[in-house]
Amino acid sequence: MSTKIKLGILGGGGDSLIGVLHRIASAMFDNYKIVGGVFNQYKEESIKFAQEIDIPTDRIYTDIDELIREELALPAEERMQVISVLTPNFLHYPMAKKLLEAGFNVICEKPLTTTYEEALTLKSIQQEKKTVFAVTHTYTGYPMVREIRSLVASGVLGKIQKVDVQYYQGWINPIIHDKEKRKSTWRLDPEKSGISCCMGDIGTHAFNMVEFTTGLKIKSVLADLNYLYEDNLMDIDGTVLLRFAENVKGVIRTSQIATGEENSLIVKIYGDKGGLKWEQENPNYVYHISEEGAMKVLKPGHAYNSEVSLGSTKLPPGHPEGIFDAMGNIYNGVAKAIRNENFDSAEFPTLLDGVRGMDFIEKTVKSHQEGNVWVTIDE
Amino acid sequence: MSTKIKLGILGGGGDSLIGVLHRIASAMFDNYKIVGGVFNQYKEESIKFAQEIDIPTDRIYTDIDELIREELALPAEERMQVISVLTPNFLHYPMAKKLLEAGFNVICEKPLTTTYEEALTLKSIQQEKKTVFAVTHTYTGYPMVREIRSLVASGVLGKIQKVDVQYYQGWINPIIHDKEKRKSTWRLDPEKSGISCCMGDIGTHAFNMVEFTTGLKIKSVLADLNYLYEDNLMDIDGTVLLRFAENVKGVIRTSQIATGEENSLIVKIYGDKGGLKWEQENPNYVYHISEEGAMKVLKPGHAYNSEVSLGSTKLPPGHPEGIFDAMGNIYNGVAKAIRNENFDSAEFPTLLDGVRGMDFIEKTVKSHQEGNVWVTIDE
Amino acid sequence: MSTKIKLGILGGGGDSLIGVLHRIASAMFDNYKIVGGVFNQYKEESIKFAQEIDIPTDRIYTDIDELIREELALPAEERMQVISVLTPNFLHYPMAKKLLEAGFNVICEKPLTTTYEEALTLKSIQQEKKTVFAVTHTYTGYPMVREIRSLVASGVLGKIQKVDVQYYQGWINPIIHDKEKRKSTWRLDPEKSGISCCMGDIGTHAFNMVEFTTGLKIKSVLADLNYLYEDNLMDIDGTVLLRFAENVKGVIRTSQIATGEENSLIVKIYGDKGGLKWEQENPNYVYHISEEGAMKVLKPGHAYNSEVSLGSTKLPPGHPEGIFDAMGNIYNGVAKAIRNENFDSAEFPTLLDGVRGMDFIEKTVKSHQEGNVWVTIDE
Amino acid sequence: MSTKIKLGILGGGGDSLIGVLHRIASAMFDNYKIVGGVFNQYKEESIKFAQEIDIPTDRIYTDIDELIREELALPAEERMQVISVLTPNFLHYPMAKKLLEAGFNVICEKPLTTTYEEALTLKSIQQEKKTVFAVTHTYTGYPMVREIRSLVASGVLGKIQKVDVQYYQGWINPIIHDKEKRKSTWRLDPEKSGISCCMGDIGTHAFNMVEFTTGLKIKSVLADLNYLYEDNLMDIDGTVLLRFAENVKGVIRTSQIATGEENSLIVKIYGDKGGLKWEQENPNYVYHISEEGAMKVLKPGHAYNSEVSLGSTKLPPGHPEGIFDAMGNIYNGVAKAIRNENFDSAEFPTLLDGVRGMDFIEKTVKSHQEGNVWVTIDE
């Protein structure tokens, strides 16, 4: 009998890119089997899509409520063991909430919710239910991002004293300068996208990357956002000053009007012994500098890598893996958690990471609106 | 009913890396379903592995003969539509031969065979049977390698006048200097690995890359191989001078004793209008230089890319894909061929590429053995 | 008779690196001749040094007062035409002031003065005297920095909407964590170095680079500096939020505790048509990205370069020039100004740039001290 | 009294780039003083040029014969101590011969001569006269090229087993395809340029770089040159297989039709412990790879650099120096030799290097003409 984990999926049907990403990721380590879900708001479409991707149609449901009801009615050993939530952002919260309350393990796309309050609600439910809950900050799945986390934890940088994360994209540039386009883009509509565009979409990734790699918690933020036009209601660019404990300072720089940039997420961390640098668009390189000795360029798959980094690489050195592989590593980590196997805390971001991310979004917007003042991030 | 292509697999069981690569690749575009095969020489192990990866065990066979017999006994619409051959190198030929003769489509790992003569035999069978036959020169699956082929074909380089391909690795270095190790490594044993190590293993990739990207045929070669030790029977390094038609010249440089190199396959092509450069370890960048104007750095997923390159990219620009994705693109191309859909000749290397590769190996060894003389590659 | 410009030098004797840099720079275009000066506070040492570098000793003076008196006593055509001020920082102001008042052209090392008020004084004198006055922001002498300025001015980026300049070094790290060392380092002593270390030393370079390349004026700043230790009186790290006119925003990031960084000055400018990026440690590359088309990598010496960039390159493409050449370009520009030849405003930074730089230092410190508030930069 | 070395120059007048390069180089360490020479074949022009660059005109001579006669007539302590030969290639030999015979130290631009025989003649004269004789293979002046030499000598690579040097340019491409142009270009005219274009111009640099960095001697060569057109008499591209002692092999790849390349000289050396890589267009980086541990990127000016590398760098790390600085380092080395100070053999290439280079040119052409056979390089 199959030992694969039974996976249900909400959303991600049709030609959804996020759907492709999650399906491939779930297949990468032979430990998931997609058994059903709700791919589309119309059941007929869901069934058609299930047939296309060759999933049995008997567990394709009308909606999440039916899914929960029917799955709970199944014997425990046949039941979906984890549900991936790939629906539009505003549905993340209500779906995650129902799934948590029903006791399911959840893999939720980011952003976790549309408000910090919702996120706190999920947190309190999960603290009671104790299910596995992953938030897919995909970039944490790269072996060399995990390597940075291991290196920092092992002390190669000494005491951290400076953190600088950039996340620059240019995709809103062709939209923002056209009055009609900027009114009709869902990402720029607060009704559909919450209170923030740039901070919500990529600022949270940067925030998560800071805390994931350094192991430090951001204590307070001072943000200057840019809306560029008076009639634009959403931030499309912003710089956030960061303060950590013990005089450690940093900066998060984000933009969606850095014209020509694709997906330029860059991490720079400096301690009293050296620095580490990484760029998402060349994810298989970590640059380690120090006062003494030459810069080292670390790559995946080597004996010198940490265990968690090595476990995130499938082929020998020199065979570049990419973002699908990163997501695959996250799914693999969740599988270990579901199976109660040992896993490293680096192997998937949790609900708590998602909660902190929602706090970050609200606090940066608040900082900006109140005149670029310092605002405290909750512990 | 499922529209997925029914895929059988020979070899690739246990913790075989090549098995992982092909399974993930086949899953990437939702167009294959693994229905059975022979994963291991012991049926019991095969069945156990099938269970592990959650494949039905009813079409796990004892050996290739049983597989062919039983599959042919099935109604055509249920039969395996393509078989992937992932067994040790010396089994490629006998298995591919049987499969071809029985009329199956084949995806064969490289090297195609152990001798050029065997390759010619396969060629003549396939010319009769007209099945789809792909040889997995994986690097041709990268979107930017396909982009180079498109760019050259479209004339951006003008008339080609110089080709230079490097394939440097260092993995044999720790073996070759130890007499015991070099005697006990299968890759250095002519009984197990044919007449060549370096040319056979990576020289063929370089050769294929030259012809794939330029569209030119190599006419003759002059090789100087290096065995380093008298008692070493296999080349572990070699430089091959190339001649094409019309005074076009080039060079293939290969080494497995380039200590510290991982998998450094580099392509440089120059025409009378400009040059193109690409490096496998950073596969998402193509460097286009010319006499006039600044160097351009092309990346995948952009409107300026060729159709076949764009079709080889799943996510928007800035989301790096890797070698699993490259192999996925080859499987996707084979799927189109099997379904009689339109496809570009760039979408998978064929048996003919494999045949030429075998000729290249034998001719370079001959050139070297006869005193570094020019030897003609068959047309 | 020599047509070379007669150059006097104050400071830069012995094994002073800055002395070497200015001497080589002045020699690069065969348009300066060092005729004398005051290399050292002891005349004897000055004369000895003059002999070492084979300068006639008849115009080696005891001090600046003697230099001015004696030079003014010479016939105009024999007189020093320009004086380079390479003395310790706190002497820049009094020396520049005397030279200006006496009507000399001046090349002054940065920082121009120790206070903004002093800088304003120099400005008012120079406005009356109308002499040539250059401040050696060396990095503006690189051909590709000048190319960026030309490209932005020509509109390739469209309207600027985001500016990001980094200047990270690590050299204070080994000093700052040792109580004794941080007390005894002159750069960290306000008595000797003015009110700021990091902003004064490298922040001004970053500020100058922003305004030089974009042609925009920074309107206001909000700074968060880092002193790391309570007993440390000088900033050694700081991030400065920038506001320009018309909703253009930016950031200057500086650090001297970015351990392992050497001299990492990085410029990123984004407009509504594209972006330009440059790194000081690889000064011969400009990266031009845009929404449409591939990234272009511009290099010096090409027909596509602007006139001022081409005039800043001595050899054909592919022959890398460096920082001595950059300083040589600045001296060359000053020579044109002295000779009343046509020159481009890019060819040397002026006293006004130095004045704005001093304002920037004081305003960032003020912003920090008043609680990270916005402070206006004077027009 | 000046302690500077009295330098005479032959050639390099007017707007000669090579003249600029040598003048700046000689000024870089304050140890040369240009006292006269023959800048032009017309004395009037020479004098005019001397005035422009502010050199006394009393030692500007009509020709080399007058120079030798008059200088020898001066007291030894006033006499030119070294003469730089910057004239057209075909004049290098007769001038160097006369200077050697008269007992002068010489700095000679490359190529040393137009034939190997001439080079041998110079060698035998110099062995008798024992003067200092430098050949300006400028690239050996880079601090990181010297670092490679030191690293190899110190054993970090173990025993060398593979050497690969590329020198690709594209400048002949726009000439070679036009029949008129290729007939009228002096570099392609054997009457003016000797027997080889590509090997003579850049192949020798590659050859010198191989021997300079590895300390090994090339024993034999097999070359395949490319002339591209029947009526073209000079090689414009060529690949040379190399054999050293003890089964060490290598390759030199050169081209002047690598369209779009600027001055791409690349060195790769592999031993049984690791590899070193360097690129002339980014001369301040050396990449050190090995089986164990991460790649190291070495830069100039660090405590970890060899003494000779450190002595070739003027400013602290992060301040890029370039090709003028490289030539300056060679002049500095020659100065030490002239002054009988200690110097490292890396500090300037000698007449013997030039002699070997001439042998290399003739042997590669011979190898090609005789049908791509192995030809021995003299010891």
D324 touches chain C (CB under 8 A): yes
Runs of H (alpha helix) within chain C = 17-27, 43-52, 64-73, 89-101, 116-129, 143-153, 173-176, 179-184, 190-193, 198, 204-214, 307-310, 323-338, 351-369
Distances (CA, A) of C312 to A101, C9, C341: 69, 24, 16
Compute the average pLDDT of residues A123-144. Answer: 97
Q: How far apart are CA B161 and CA B349, in angstroms?
A: 24
Q: Is the peptide bond before B111 cis (omega within 30 degrees of 0)?
A: yes
* Under 8 Å between Cβ of A346 and A149: yes
Q: How far apart are CA C124 and CA C144, in angstroms?
A: 33
pLDDT score at B15: 87
Chain C residue whose CA is closest to A261: C289
- Indicate the helix (H) or strand (E) that contains D191: helix D190-193
pLDDT score at B68: 98
Considering only the beta carbons, identify the residue of C162, C170, C272 that sits closest to A237.
Answer: C162
Compute the average pLDDT of residues B357-370. Answer: 98
B164 touches chain D (CB under 8 A): yes
Q: How far apart are CA B204 and CA B113, in angstroms?
A: 12
* Under 8 Å between Cβ of C25 and C327: yes
Q: How far apart are CA A283 and CA C150, in angstroms?
A: 34
Distances (CA, A) of C262 to A165, A222, C181, D296, D342: 19, 28, 20, 16, 31
Residue C47 pLDDT greater than 70, yes or no: yes
Q: How far apart are CA A60 and CA B266, in angstroms?
A: 48
pLDDT tens digits, one per residue of A274-320: 999 999 999 999 999 999 899 999 999 999 999 999 999 999 999 99
SS3 D250: strand
Q: Which two tokens stand for residue B221?
A: 């070669």
Distances (CA, A) of D46 to C1, C353, D13, D62: 14, 42, 7, 8
pLDDT score at C194: 87
Residue A2 pLDDT greater than 70, yes or no: no
B303 touches chain A (CB under 8 A): no
Compute the average pLDDT of residues D277-286. Answer: 98
Cβ contacts of residue D344 below 8 Å, gap of 6+?
Answer: D146, D307, D308, D333
- Which of D21, D30, D52, D305 to mutate to probe the C interface, most C CBs <10 Å? D30
ipTM for the whole complex: 0.96
| Burial readout B189-199 (b: 16 or more C-beta within 10 A, e: otherwise) | eeeebbbbbbb
**Residues of B with Cβ-Cβ distance to A319 under 8 angstroms:** 263, 322-323
Considering only the beta carbons, identify the residue of C2, C316, C321 that sits closest to D324.
Answer: C321
SS3 B245: coil
C119 touches chain D (CB under 8 A): no
pLDDT tens digits, one per residue of B80-130: 999 999 999 999 999 999 999 999 999 999 999 999 999 999 999 999 999
pLDDT score at C292: 86
**Residues of D with Cβ-Cβ distance to B260 under 8 angstroms:** 270, 274-275, 288-291, 295
SS3 B262: coil
Amino acid at residue number D336: K
Residue D138 pLDDT greater than 50, yes or no: yes
Residue B46 pLDDT greater than 70, yes or no: yes
pLDDT tens digits, one per residue of B47-62: 999 999 999 999 999 9
Closest CA to D146 of D205, D209, D218: D209
Compute the average pLDDT of residues A219-236. Answer: 97
The pTM score is 0.97
**Residues of A with Cβ-Cβ distance to B317 under 8 angstroms:** 262-263
pLDDT score at D1: 47
Task: Measure C132 CA to nearest chain A CA, in Å.
Answer: 38
Amino acid at residue number C220: S
- Indicate the helix (H) or strand (E) that contains C255: strand C249-255
Strand partners, C81: none
pLDDT score at A194: 87
A245: exposed, middle or buried (Cβ count in 10 Å: 0-12, 13-18, 19+): exposed
Residue D5 pLDDT greater than 60, yes or no: yes
Q: How far apart are CA C291 and CA C319, in angstroms?
A: 31
Neighbours of chain A (3+ CB pairs under 8 A): B, C, D
Residue C104 pLDDT greater than 80, yes or no: yes
- Beta strand pairing status for D220-226 and D375-376? antiparallel
Q: Which residue has the tokens 């984990």?
A: A5
Cβ–Cβ gap B164/D253 under 8 Å: yes
Strand partners, C337: none
Q: What percentage of chain A exceeds 90 in pLDDT?
A: 96
Considering only the beta carbons, identify the residue of C224, C237, C270 that sits closest to A258.
Answer: C270
pLDDT score at B3: 82
Q: What percentage of chain C exceeds 90 in pLDDT?
A: 96
Amino acid at residue number A10: L
Q: For chain B, give the longest Cα–Cα distance.
A: 64
pLDDT tens digits, one per residue of D178-236: 999 999 998 899 988 889 999 999 999 999 999 999 999 999 999 999 999 999 999 99
Cβ contacts of residue B340 below 8 Å, gap of 6+?
Answer: none
Least confident residue range of B284-298, B334-348, C100-114, D179-193 = D179-193
Confidence of residue A193 (pLDDT cuts 50, 70, 90): confident
Residue D339 pLDDT greater than 80, yes or no: yes
Compute the average pLDDT of residues B202-212. Answer: 98
Q: Give the distance from CA B108 to its chain's centroid.
A: 9
pLDDT score at B1: 47
Considering only the beta carbons, identify the residue of D295, D303, D304 that sits closest to A296.
Answer: D295
Q: How far apart are CA C37 and CA C44, in angstroms?
A: 13
Distances (CA, A) of C337 to A128, A270, C98, C105: 77, 44, 21, 10
Runs of H (alpha helix) within C268-319 = 307-310
D295 touches chain A (CB under 8 A): yes
Residue B181 pLDDT greater than 80, yes or no: yes
Least confident residue range of A112-116, B189-193, C337-341 = B189-193
Q: Which residue has the tokens 């110089």?
A: B162
Q: How far apart are CA A305 and CA A293, in angstroms?
A: 19
pLDDT score at C3: 83
pLDDT score at A191: 87
pLDDT score at D2: 61
C282 touches chain D (CB under 8 A): yes
* Under 8 Å between Cβ of B10 and B87: yes
Strand partners, A207: none
Amino acid at residue number D178: D
Task: Put residue B103 in one of left, alpha, beta given phi > 0 → left and psi -120 to 50 → alpha.
Answer: left
Residue D33 pLDDT greater than 80, yes or no: yes
Q: What percentage of chain A exceeds 70 in pLDDT?
A: 99
Strand partners, B232: none
* Sheet arrangement for strand A82-85: A32-38, A5-10, A82-85, A105-108, A133-135
C294 touches chain B (CB under 8 A): yes
